[in-house]
Each structure stands twice: as structure tokens, then as C-alpha cells.
């Protein structure tokens, strides 16, 4: 990923040379370039600001130096390539983990660090309409900074660490706050007893299912205590309707299934996946042979899961969440719902996923599922089971 930053205080961005990001730059995973805006002025005083039209306090950043700086950055790129321009500002859209994930998929980002009272508004228009850049005005949070540099430091770190390879074990990326709508669980390390304080016994038990459950409960409790807005957000789905599917759901379900299994095909490097090749009639017919649950929010089909009883086991399958809504805990809630529908006599839950579906495997593990040892019933898949409590 290439990242350009323009600022009148380029030294402010020096922390991007350090730690993981510094190593990622050395490893060629990140190409970070910092530009001094004053380098694009031509007067003796290298002037970048002037008094505001209409009067008022402070100074405003002049448009011309910005146009030259952005023009220079764009001109350095590969022909036809254009950066996604991010301009931090207290009036911008709140920067979130979901936005960090989206920007982490971009090949080229440019950040414009404003100062003073801000940048002449025509620069935003010039970047979007004359340079043809996608422009995002983002805010770090509801408080006022003196300029954009601190915001850029935070945004670049939050984005760059999601670039594959930047963070050593991607494992840790999944368990984090805001990754799935919940805050993280408390962590402990040696010594077992410290100044008379103990580590919670469950963490010493070796019972990974119990540890996963305890951690999940801790996450829910912390989120309820510290960020009920998040909890409500993931439960905002108060307007989330989960019900058995009816034939009228089949068209949307067919489309959602195709959309959701594209990433599974990518993760498993195959298109030969039943959910991806089944035709509409097969999906419609499956509504009669399995208990298929659909989740709707505001009328939109946002997720689904199906269950099938086989002996004393409940097979859970086709768990899906609309790609743009993933990471908000919907999948976790649909899985919990599927399990909650298990009739008496069910002893365990069983599900199947692609061996390459690393993120799924992690989520199922966190939900208490364990891989079934031995050869999978379908090559290239992993079967997981969880004892019913």
C-alpha cells in the first residue's frame, strides 16, 4: 500500500518510521511518503495561509499550495492510478474500524493535514472534480485538535496494521475491540499471583471452550458497562427480525448466498462450492427441506442460517451475513439463534466450512466449536462440532 501525507509539519509524522509500521516500510509492505506543503510555495516567506474571507478569527490555508502539492503526489503515481484522498477534519464522518477496514483494501491513500482554521473549501472541490480523486473527510472524534497530523497518525496506524503481513499474527486482529462490535476481554500474564491478586481460575483451567465462553461474557459485560452504544448498535437490531424463511424470501436469499460465498471462494481458491453453484430453484426448494432462518433489518435481508436435525446432532449451515454488514456481531447472533432452536434430544451442533476460511474457523472456535479430527467428509473442508450444554 502506498501512503502519501502532506503537512506543514512533516516531522509530526516521524512516528510512522517506528515499530511495526517502520518494519513494514522496510519490508516493502508499505510505501509511506511525507511531503512538506511549504515545498509547494514560491514566495520568500513560503506562505501557506491568509486571512479568512468574511472575517473571523485565525487564518485559512491558501488553495494554490495544496493544488500543487496534490498535483505533485498524483503525478508521482502509476499512470491512471489515483489515491483515495483523506482530509481529516472535526466536521468529518467519524473514523471507525469499519472505515479502517475499507481503506485498508485501497492500494493508494493520500492524507492532507490541515492547520489554522482549515483549508480553503475549493481545494476539496478541486481534488474531487479536477483531479478526480475520491475524497473522504474523516474525524478522529468529537473533540478539537490543532491540526490534522495527529488524526493522520492514528488513521494510518489503524489502517496500515490491517494490511496483510504488517501485523505478524493476523490471529490477534480478530479478537480486538470494534472488530465484531464488542470490546476486548481482560488479559493476564505471569506471575499467577501478583501483589496478592490472582489470575481468574478459568484461564488456568486448560478448558478452551470454557475460556472462550468466559472471554465472550467478559466482552459483553465490558461493552454493556463502557460502551452500551456499541451493545445497542449490535442489538440495534432490536429492529432485526429473525424468522423462518418463506418462499418469498428465496430470490433475495439466492442473491445473498452468491454474494456471501464469493469471499469463501477466494479464501479457498475454488468456485466449486455448493452455495456458489446452486441455482435459484435449488435454493427455493431447500426452504422446504431445511429450517432456514432469515434475518431482516428495515426490510432488507441481511443474513441467514439453516439448521437440519440428523440424529442427536443439529447441523448448522449456510450461515451468512451481507458482506457490508460483517463485523457487527450479526453472524454471532445468527449462530446463537440457530443453536437456540435445537429441539430436545439434540446433544451437539455440527457445521462445516472451508479449510481456507480462516476467519470463519476463528469465529467458530471462539463460539466453542472444535475441529473434528480425521479426514473431512468433503475434501478441502473442516467439520466442527460443539457439545450442547
Nearer to ligand JD8, 146 or 198 (CB): 146
160 lines the binding site for ligand JD8 (CB under 6 A): no
Q: Confirm or reject binding of residue 121 to ligand JD8 (CB under 6 A).
A: no
Which residue's CB is nearer to ligand JD8, number 94 or number 210?
A: 94
Instruction: Report, in Å, the least distance between residue 8 CB and ligand JD8.
Output: 11
The answer to whether residue 139 forms part of the interface with ligand JD8 (CB under 6 A) is: yes
Among 19, 93, 96, 146, binds ligand JD8 (CB under 6 A): 146
Residue 57 or 373 having the CB closest to ligand JD8: 57
Q: Is residue 144 a contact point for ligand JD8 (CB under 6 A)?
A: yes
When the beta carbons of 117 and 171 are compared against ligand JD8, the nearer one is 117
DSSP 25: H
Residue 143, interface with ligand JD8 (CB under 6 A)? yes
Minimal distance in Å, beta carbon 123 to ligand JD8? 12
| DSSP string over 322-381 | -GGGTTSSHHHHHHHHHHHTPPTT--EEEEEEETT-HHHHHHHHHTT-EEPSSS-SSTTE
Nearer Cβ to ligand JD8 (155/230): 155
**For the stretch 285-317, what's the b/e string if a residue is b when 16 or more beta carbons lie within 10 angstroms of its beta carbon?**
ebbeebebbbbbbeeebbbbbbbeeeeebbbbb
Cβ at position 193, least distance to ligand JD8 in Å: 42
Residue 147 touches ligand JD8, criterion: CB under 6 A: yes
Cell of 84: 483515495
CA distances from 122 to 7, 93, 127, 295 (A): 18, 19, 9, 44
Q: How far apart are CA 208 and CA 365, in angstroms?
A: 9
> Applying CB under 6 A, does 89 fall inside the site for ligand JD8?
yes
Residue 268 near residue 357, CB atoms below 8 Å? yes
β pairing state of 31-36 and 2-7: parallel
Compute how many residues bind ligand JD8; rule: CB under 6 A: 18
Q: How far is the CB of 63 from ligand JD8 (least distance, A)?
A: 15
Only one of the segments 72-80, 133-141, 211-219, 318-326 lies at the binding site for ligand JD8 (rule: CB under 6 A); that segment is: 133-141
Closest CA relative to residue 320, chosen from 271, 346, 283: 283
Q: Choose the stretch contacting ligand JD8; rule: CB under 6 A; options: 135-143, 275-283, 318-326, 355-363.
A: 135-143
Task: Kindly tell me which residue out of 50, 117, 207, 281 binds ligand JD8, with binding defined by CB under 6 A.
Answer: 117
User: Is beta strand 108-112 parallel, antiparallel or unpaired with respect to 84-94?
Assistant: parallel
- d(C-alpha 117, C-alpha 97), whole Å: 27
Name the DSSP letter for residue 6: E
Using CB under 6 A as the binding rule, whether residue 381 contacts ligand JD8 is answered as no
Mark the segment that binds ligand JD8 (CB under 6 A) among 8-16, 48-56, 86-94, 341-349.
86-94
177: contact with ligand JD8 by CB under 6 A: no
Comparison of 159 and 253: residue with beta carbon closer to ligand JD8:
159
Does 86 bind ligand JD8 (CB under 6 A)? Our answer is no
Among 20, 99, 145, 174, which residue sits at the site for ligand JD8 (rule: CB under 6 A)?
Answer: 145
Cβ-in-10-Å burial (0-12, 13-18, 19+) of 163 comes to middle
With binding defined as CB under 6 A, does residue 329 bind ligand JD8? Answer: no
- Asked if 114 touches ligand JD8 (CB under 6 A), the answer is yes
Task: Please say which residue, 155 or 338, places its beta carbon nearer to ligand JD8.
Answer: 155
Read out DSSP for 95-160? P-HHHHHHHTT-SEEEEE---TT-B-HHHHHIIIIIS--EEEEEES-SS--SSSHHHHHHHHHHHH
65 binds ligand JD8 (CB under 6 A): no
Question: What does the DSSP 8-state code read for residue 318?
Answer: E
Comparing CB distances to ligand JD8, the nearer of 58 and 323 is: 58
Asked whether the beta carbons of 338 and 367 are under 8 A apart, the reply is no
Q: Which of 2, 34, 67, 118 binds ligand JD8 (CB under 6 A)?
A: 118
Q: Which three cell numbers stand for residue 128?
A: 474531487
C-alpha torsion angle, residues 150, 152, 158, 161 (rounded to 10): -110
Residues of this chain that bind ligand JD8 (CB under 6 A): 88-90, 92, 114-115, 117-118, 139-141, 143-148, 151
Amino acid at each position: 500500500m502506498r501512503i502519501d501525507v502532506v503537512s506543514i509539519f512533516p516531522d509530526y509524522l516521524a512516528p510512522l518510521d517506528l515499530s511495526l509500521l517502520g518494519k513494514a516500510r522496510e519490508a516493502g509492505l508499505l510505501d509511506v511518503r511525507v511531503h512538506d506543503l511549504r515545498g509547494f510555495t514560491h514566495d520568500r516567506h513560503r506562505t501557506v495561509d491568509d486571512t479568512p474571507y468574511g472575517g473571523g478569527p485565525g487564518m485559512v490555508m491558501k488553495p494554490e499550495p495544496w493544488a500543487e502539492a496534490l498535483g505533485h503526489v498524483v503525478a508521482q503515481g502509476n499512470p491512471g492510478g489515483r489515491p483515495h484522498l483523506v482530509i481529516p477534519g472535526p466536521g468529518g464522518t467519524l473514523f471507525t474500524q469499519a472505515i479502517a477496514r475499507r481503506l485498508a483494501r485501497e492500494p493508494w491513500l493520500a492524507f492532507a493535514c490541515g492547520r489554522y482554521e482549515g483549508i480553503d473549501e475549493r481545494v476539496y472541490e478541486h481534488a474531487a472534480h479536477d483531479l478526480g480523486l475520491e475524497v473522504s473527510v474523516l474525524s478522529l472524534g468529537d473533540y478539537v485538535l490543532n491540526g490534522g497530523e495527529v488524526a493522520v497518525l492514528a488513521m494510518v496506524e489503524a489502517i496500515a496494521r490491517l494490511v496483510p503481513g504488517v501485523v505478524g499474527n493476523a490471529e490477534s486482529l480478530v479478537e480486538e475491540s470494534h472488530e465484531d462490535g464488542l470490546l476486548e476481554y481482560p488479559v493476564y500474564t505471569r506471575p499467577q499471583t501478583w501483589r496478592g491478586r490472582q489470575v481468574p481460575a478459568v484461564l488456568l483451567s486448560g478448558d478452551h471452550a470454557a475460556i472462550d465462553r468466559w472471554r465472550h461474557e467478559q466482552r459483553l459485560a465490558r461493552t454493556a458497562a463502557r460502551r452500551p452504544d456499541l451493545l445497542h448498535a449490535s442489538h440495534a437490531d432490536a429492529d432485526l427480525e429473525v424468522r423462518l424463511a418463506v418462499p418469498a424470501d428465496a430470490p433475495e436469499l439466492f442473491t445473498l448466498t452468491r454474494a456471501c460465498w464469493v469471499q469463501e471462494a477466494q479464501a479457498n481458491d475454488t468456485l466449486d462450492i455448493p452455495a456458489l453453484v446452486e441455482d435459484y430453484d435449488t435454493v427455493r426448494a431447500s426452504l422446504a427441506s431445511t429450517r432456514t432462518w432469515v434475518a431482516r433489518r428495515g426490510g432488507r435481508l441481511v443474513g441467514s442460517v439453516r439448521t437440519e436435525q440428523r440424529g442427536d446432532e443439529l447441523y448448522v449451515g449456510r450461515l451468512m451475513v451481507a458482506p457490508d454488514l460483517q463485523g457487527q456481531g450479526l453472524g454471532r447472533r445468527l449462530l446463537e439463534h440457530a443453536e437456540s432452536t435445537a429441539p430436545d434430544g439434540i446433544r451437539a451442533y455440527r457445521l462445516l466450512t472451508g479449510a481456507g476460511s480462516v476467519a470463519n474457523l476463528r469465529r467458530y472456535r471462539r463460539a466453542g466449536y472444535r475441529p473434528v479430527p480425521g479426514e473431512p467428509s468433503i475434501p478441502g473442508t473442516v467439520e466442527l462440532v460443539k457439545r450442547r450444554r
